[in-house]
Amino acid sequence: MTNLQIGTLVLNTELLVYLLAGFTGVLAVRSGSGNTNDRERDVSSAWSAVLIWLAAWKGSLLLVDTKSVISNPMSLLFFDGGMFGFWLASAAALGWSGYRFVRLHGWKGGIRRVVLLASGWTAFCLLAILVWDASALAYWRVLGWLLACVVWWMARGGKEFWRNWSWKRGSAQAAAMLLIAGLVSALLYDQARTGLLAELRGGDGEPTAAAASEGASAGKKAPVFELESLAGDRAALADSAGSVTLLNFWTTWCKVCKTEMPHVQKLYEFYEGEGRSVKLLSVNVTSQESGVETVRRYMEKYGYSFPLALDESGSVADRYRVNAFPTTFVIDGDGVIRERFLGAISYADMKKRVDRVLAAGSA
């Protein structure tokens, strides 16, 4: 799931999706509540469950990568515990909401509200999978679960929800929902425009006719370039031909990049040690630095050893349409861009994306 870029601002799409999923779950609970007093208590409890989920999801990084969090606490802002964190957060939110709702309404009423909360949440998450990652699960299976969640919600009070809706009380929630929906719509437009929805349009994930042309989006040929490395040698994308390449653009003044760099180093060391057909090429956009020495001191200070090319004119960053940092591309052995990611990306997520391209190439 790629992030959303608005100018030079990069928004975390995954967090955005989970917020909207939580909002959908809260609406589902509200729809199944009885009188006004019950509704207000249920909505408050549902929102608490959403906040517990988000806190556990982000905080799970402490369990998954304790060393990274201790050395750089800002990691908690940009990374999470992956699938382990997802299920840990889900267990925490369901456990708390179950306790709260059962205490308020007894076992029957409590379980009913927990199912409503989970159904609303799941329905939006499944919709997000259909849009952003159609290959993650069988398309019709996901669509079936989505429709089942919607039918359940309507059967358990969807019509009652709209009948009892008060714009006076619900205007703030409606405004928040419209804002988040607008941001998601902007992302969909950007994905459709840049070709990141190629899987949904093409289906099989193989290079299309668009792969013959050069560009900076998924499915296009990666623009070739040759730069000077920090060591004074030649650094060219062509040297990685036949290998899956992780191409990462960054600057020393970028705070998000500073958080990501240890993960880039860790990935480099992993694939170097494995001896697999994976190359990592880091490009510092030196045109936005005070000079090459600034970059050299930065690399020496933190002990980074991954290959580094210097884009002193900024022309390579322009060709890849990089105007927010960091920006990462995964390029297959044929030189076709398979993934483009805006913002910080963790070691686990980098490895998952690279391995996915490796698997597709060997299939």
pLDDT at 131 over 80: no
Contact 94, 52 (CB under 8 A): no
Q: Assess whether 183 and 324 both reside in one domain.
A: no
Last residue of one domain, picked from the residues 166, 199, 232: 199
Q: Assess whether 193 and 210 both reside in one domain.
A: no
pLDDT confidence band for 23 (50 / 70 / 90): confident
**Six-digit token string for 256:** 């998000």
Q: What's the Cα-to-Cα distance from 159 to each of 21, 31, 153, 162, rounded to whole Å?
A: 20, 8, 9, 5
Q: Which pTM value belongs to this model?
A: 0.71
Last residue of one domain, picked from the residues 199, 229, 262: 199
Contact 53, 92 (CB under 8 A): yes
Whole-number average pLDDT of the chain: 78
DSSP state of 280: E
pLDDT of 4: 52
Q: Assess whether 232 and 329 both reside in one domain.
A: yes
Which of 6-10, 174-178, 240-244, 319-323 is the least confident region?
A: 6-10
pLDDT at 149 over 80: no
The better pLDDT of the pair 7, 93 is held by 93
pLDDT of 204: 41
Q: Please name which of 87, 86, 80, 92 lies closest in space to residue 48, comparing C-alpha atoms.
A: 92
Mean pLDDT, to the nearest integer, of 317-323? 90
Q: Provide the domain limits for residue 174.
A: 4-199
**Nearest-angstrom CA–CA distance, 43 and 27:** 8
Q: Please name which of 330, 321, 182, 328 lies closest in space to residue 245, comparing C-alpha atoms.
A: 330
pLDDT at 328 over 80: yes
Label residues 208-239 b or e (16+ Cβ within 10 Å = b): eebbeeebbbbbbbbbebebeebeeeebebee
Q: Assess whether 150 and 289 both reside in one domain.
A: no
Rg of the chain over all Cα atoms, to the nearest angstrom: 23
Q: Assess whether 344 and 242 both reside in one domain.
A: yes
- Residue 27 burial (10 A CB sphere; 0-12, 13-18, 19+): buried
The better pLDDT of the pair 68, 204 is held by 68
Q: Assess whether 154 and 285 both reside in one domain.
A: no
Last residue of one domain, picked from the residues 136, 168, 199: 199
Give the distance, in angstroms, between the CA of residue 118 and the centroid of all CA atoms in the same chain.
Answer: 21
Bridging pattern class, strands 4-6 and 244-250: unpaired
Among 72-81, 213-222, 285-294, name the most confident range.
Answer: 285-294
The total of structural domains in the chain comes to 2
pLDDT confidence band for 176 (50 / 70 / 90): low
pLDDT confidence band for 210 (50 / 70 / 90): very low
Q: Quick one: what percent of the chain has pLDDT higher than 90?
A: 30
Which of 73-77, 145-149, 201-205 is the least confident region?
A: 201-205
